[in-house]
Amino acid sequence: MTEAESDAVIDDIIAKAWGDEAFRARLLADPAAILRDEGIDLPVGALVQVLEDTATSQTLVLPMRPLDLAEDALEGVAGVLSTVCYDSFMQWP
């Protein structure tokens, strides 16, 4: 599965969790099982956490540093990611 396909599956999982309380509860209780059920390949023993934002609590995820990027390329990537994060936080209620 490509990264774009994985992203689309995750988008579908999020949409389903917003509309189906039972699915949301299962996702919060056992996210790895839900991801596998939806076709996402996870390494054996992978820990997956789902954190739910609320009106008073916002989650900022610090992604793992890409292993294949040169040190001087990291600054450019960080600028793009910070713009995405900033835009997300600006839409926070």
Measured distance CA(12)–CA(5) in Å, rounded: 11
List helix spans (H) across 30-70: 31-37
Give the contacts of 63 (CB within 8 A, at least 6 positions apart): 81
* pLDDT of 33 strictly over 50: yes
Q: What is the model's pLDDT at position 72? A: 60
Give the contacts of 12 (CB within 8 A, at least 6 positions apart): 38
More confident residue, 47 or 77: 47
Q: What is the model's pLDDT at position 2? A: 85
Q: What is the mean pLDDT of the segment spanning 5-9? A: 89
Measured distance CA(14)–CA(8) in Å, rounded: 10
Per the prediction, the chain carries an average pLDDT of: 80
- Place 76 in a pLDDT band, splitting at 50, 70 and 90: low
Q: Amino acid identity, residue 50?
A: V
